[in-house]
A and B are shown apart, each in its own frame.
Chain A
Amino acid sequence: DQQVKQNSPSLSVQEGRISILNCDYTNSMFDYFLWYKKYPAEGPTFLISISSIKDKNEDGRFTVFLNKSAKHLSLHIVPSQPGDSAVYFCAANDNFNKFYFGSGTKLNVKP
């Protein structure tokens, strides 16, 4: 049972434009959400997180939005750069300290 879903396996955007990656979850007990970026042949690296008490968190070009009523979060990258091309995973943490990851979205930023 997939509790965290990333329904878009891939996304292609032009350099300089906005990239929006989406993530849906089913468990209302999730209280902490994270985005990770993964390059080929490397482990995921942490990008940005958000607590369930917030609806937005910003770090430079990266902003995560959380809509608890819709059980939806999104990652906005503005402006997108070719170096942002990677697989992006969203993850959620529950009260029992378990982490649930989505299947990832492969972002391709075209120069």
Chain B
Amino acid sequence: DSGVTQTPKHLITATGQRVTLRCSPRSGDLSVYWYQQSLDQGLQFLIQYYNGEERAKGNILERFSAQQFPDLHSELNLSSLELGDSALYFCASSASGGADTQYFGPGTRLTVL
């Protein structure tokens, strides 16, 4: 158990819809990362937050947004969903957000029908 929690575990929705994925980092960690893993692909870095502020941005689509709240939990919002958005979405946390070890949650499996 990494100490990072993600909800929900599974999510099935239709094209055009909007969903919110939630992540609670390990106790004491200030940084949260979001990744997308499509079928048979590596992890694609989406975005990083540190202590409530956006710190780094990867290949995140404009239809996607994220935020980190004062209690340090984070949410990833995916809107106007397309079939190709079906993937595993992982959240990870680290202590300070530099070249620290990241601890991953179990992931949310999103299926868009």
Would A93 and B99 be within 8 Å (CB), given that A43-B90, A45-B2, A102-B42 are in contact?
A: yes
18 further A-B contacts with Cβ under 8 Å, apart from A43-B2, A103-B42, are A4-B42, A32-B99, A34-B101, A43-B4, A44-B43, A45-B103, A45-B104, A49-B99, A51-B99, A91-B43, A93-B99, A96-B56, A98-B56, A98-B58, A99-B102, A100-B45, A101-B42, A103-B40
A93 CA to B97 CA, complexed, in Å: 11
Q: Do the beta carbons of A41 and B106 come within 8 Å of each other?
A: yes
Interface size on A, residues (CB 8 A): 26
Encode A6-45 as 1/0 by CB contact (under 8 A) with B. 1000000000000000000000000110101000011111
A89 to B102, CA, bound (A): 13
The interface on chain B, measured as residues whose beta carbon lies within 8 A of the other chain's beta carbons, has a size of 27
Report how many A-B pairs have Cβ atoms within 8 Å: 59
Residues in A neighbouring B18, C-beta threshold 8 A? none
Min CB distance, A52 to chain B, in Å? 10
In the complex the two chains form, what is the Cα distance from A104 to B92 in whole Å? 18
Q: Are B90 and A46 in contact (CB under 8 A)?
A: no
Distance in Å: Cβ of B53 to nearest Cβ of chain A:
12
A21–chain B nearest beta-carbon distance, Å: 14
Chain A min CB distance to B107 (Å): 5
Interface string of B84-106 (1 = CB under 8 A from A): 00000010100001110111111
Any chain B CB within 8 A of the CB of A97?
yes
* Contact code string B30-64 (vs A, CB < 8 Å = 1, else 0): 00010100001111110010000001111000000
Whole-angstrom distance between the Cβ of A27 and the nearest chain B Cβ: 13
Q: Are B106 and A42 in contact (CB under 8 A)?
A: yes
Whether A43 contacts B106 in the complex (CB less than 8 A), given A98-B45, A103-B42, A104-B42, comes out as: yes
- What is the bound-complex CA distance between A102 and B44, given in angstroms? 9
Q: Tell me whether A97 and B42 are in contact (CB under 8 A).
A: no
A36–B43 Cα distance when bound, in Å, is 11
CA–CA, A89 and B88, complex, Å: 15
20 sample A-B contacts, Cβ–Cβ < 8 Å, listed by A number: A4-B42, A31-B99, A43-B2, A43-B90, A44-B43, A44-B104, A45-B103, A45-B104, A89-B42, A91-B43, A96-B56, A97-B48, A97-B56, A98-B56, A98-B57, A99-B58, A99-B102, A101-B44, A103-B40, A104-B42
